[in-house]
């Protein structure tokens, strides 16, 4: 029997998600990609089976099952449809600001709606001129009595136009860098707020990615998360916990592509035998499977670490390594899976070309993999390892 890191209860929930993914979502995946339409039917499926509840504590209407199981759910759904897996991942990303920095009144007002799936949410940090360099953001928030007035725009925001709640970052002190950033929760119907455009994309086509515009948008001061000037710290704490959601999406894509290529290699014959028995193809399949298993080890380690209360630099480094490795594996493995199928891998009749297109974004959003390498190295340089070299000449 293969090693199984999940408990019996966790396996039961994983198997439920796996069954829903294969029976209800997989048949829709190609159409979602082809139509470019947001899959509201998948949202309803998640609501009916309480999958959004995996990301929330019981006191706010969730299941309280922890981070590891939430990542497993994203992985399982992403094996068949990365767009649908992203819906789950962004429900975590968009709600983490409330969970980490919200006061009790804010949590009670919003989290139950997000846990039930009544509302979807989004995370709005990136701007057209500030992606990795968030201190360069130009969106401002000016206090005016009991409200803040927001002006500016955000770009490449997942769930734009379908979310009812946005975690938005803006400069309350434009003269400062990171200490001038504050965080807000903004409802979709706030005066002065609109979604200006939805972007056409190479992959994850059923997911909306859009530009948000704030033109004297008024937000209640009660919607400030934490205190003024704490926005950057909140954003980084959010990303430490949300990046592995993208890692889970990447791992799902990689494992789904591996499984499909394996079944194809068992039945497609050349020179009198299945192509999987030819050494070069066999070697590719072996590498694909090994990379997936190594990535899963990092992902599950991260989920367990969060569930055990690990925080700070240790979590930052582990999060960055998990996101980096799982998403690099996603791109490598889906590319190899297309190669295993040859010409068939390149046509849209088969799912692998879609998986390869979907995989690319996982190396880019929620912090490019180049940034992840910088984060990992920065945390390494803080560590004291001299004792490991004691006695080495």
- Helical (H) or strand (E) element with 207: none
C-beta contacts of 1-10 below 8 A and 24+ residues apart: 5/300, 5/304, 6/68, 6/69, 6/72, 10/65, 10/68, 10/69, 10/72
Is 37:54 a contact under the CB 8 Å cutoff?
no
Residue-wise DSSP of 66-115 = -HHHHHHHHHHHHTT-HHHHHHHHHHHHHHHHHHHH--HHHHHHHHHHHH
Paired strand residues for 150: 141, 217
Rounded CA-CA distance 357/339 in Å is 14
Pairing of strands 165-171, 121-124: parallel
Is 314 marked active-site?
no
Rounded CA-CA distance 317/320 in Å is 5
Catalytic residue among 76, 127, 211, 366: 366
Is 201:77 a contact under the CB 8 Å cutoff?
no
**E-strand spans in 205-322?**
209-220, 224-225, 269-270, 273-274
Rounded CA-CA distance 62/273 in Å is 51
Spatial CA neighbour of 56 closest among 20, 97, 95: 95
Q: Could you say which DSSP state residue 127 is in?
A: B
Rounded CA-CA distance 255/247 in Å is 12
**Cα–Cα distances in Å, from 379 out to 59, 268, 319, 374?**
35, 47, 11, 9
Query: Which residue matches tokens 């439920």?
Result: 16
Secondary structure of residue 62 in the 3-state scheme: coil
Spatial CA neighbour of 88 closest among 63, 52, 36: 52
Pair of tokens at residue 241:
């916990």
Query: Which residues carry out catalysis?
Result: 366
């Amino acid at each position: 029997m293969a090693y199984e890191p999940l408990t019996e209860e966790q396996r039961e929930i994983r198997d439920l998600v796996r069954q829903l993914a294969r029976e209800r979502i997989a048949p829709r995946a190609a159409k979602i990609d082809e139509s470019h339409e947001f899959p509201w039917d998948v949202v309803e499926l998640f609501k009916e089976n309480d999958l959004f509840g995996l990301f929330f504590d019981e006191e706010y209407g969730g299941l309280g099952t922890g981070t590891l199981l939430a990542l497993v759910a994203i992985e399982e759904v992403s094996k068949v449809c990365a767009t649908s897996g992203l819906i789950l991942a962004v429900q975590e990303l968009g709600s983490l600001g409330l969970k980490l920095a919200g006061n009790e009144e804010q949590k009670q007002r919003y989290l139950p709606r997000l846990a039930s799936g009544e509302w979807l949410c989004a995370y709005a940090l990136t701007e057209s001129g500030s992606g990795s360099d968030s201190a360069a953001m130009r969106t401002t928030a000016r206090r005016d009595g009991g409200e803040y007035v927001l002006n500016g725009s955000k770009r490449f925001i997942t769930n734009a136009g379908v979310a009812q709640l946005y975690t938005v970052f803006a400069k309350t002190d434009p003269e400062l860098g990171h200490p001038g950033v504050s965080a807000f929760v903004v409802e979709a119907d706030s005066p002065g707020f609109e979604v200006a455009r939805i972007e056409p994309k190479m992959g994850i086509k059923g997911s909306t990615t859009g530009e948000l515009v704030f033109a004297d948008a008024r937000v209640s001061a009660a919607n400030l998360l934490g205190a003024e000037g704490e926005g950057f710290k909140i954003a980084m704490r959010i990303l430490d916990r949300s990046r592995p959601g993208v890692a889970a999406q990447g791992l799902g894509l990689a494992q789904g592509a591996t499984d499909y290529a394996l079944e194809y290699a068992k039945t497609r014959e050349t020179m009198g035998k299945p192509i999987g028995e030819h050494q070069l193809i066999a070697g590719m399949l072996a590498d694909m499977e090994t990379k997936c298993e190594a990535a899963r080890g990092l992902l599950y380690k991260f989920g367990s670490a969060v569930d055990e209360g690990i925080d700070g630099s240790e979590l930052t480094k582990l999060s960055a390594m998990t996101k980096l490795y799982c998403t690099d594996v996603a791109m490598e493995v889906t590319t190899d899976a297309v190669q295993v199928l040859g010409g068939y891998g390149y046509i849209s009749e088969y799912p692998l070309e879609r998986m390869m297109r979907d995989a690319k974004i996982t190396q880019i959003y929620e912090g490019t993999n180049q940034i992840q390498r910088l984060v990992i190295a920065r945390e390494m340089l803080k560590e004291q390892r001299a004792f490991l070299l004691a006695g080495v000449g």
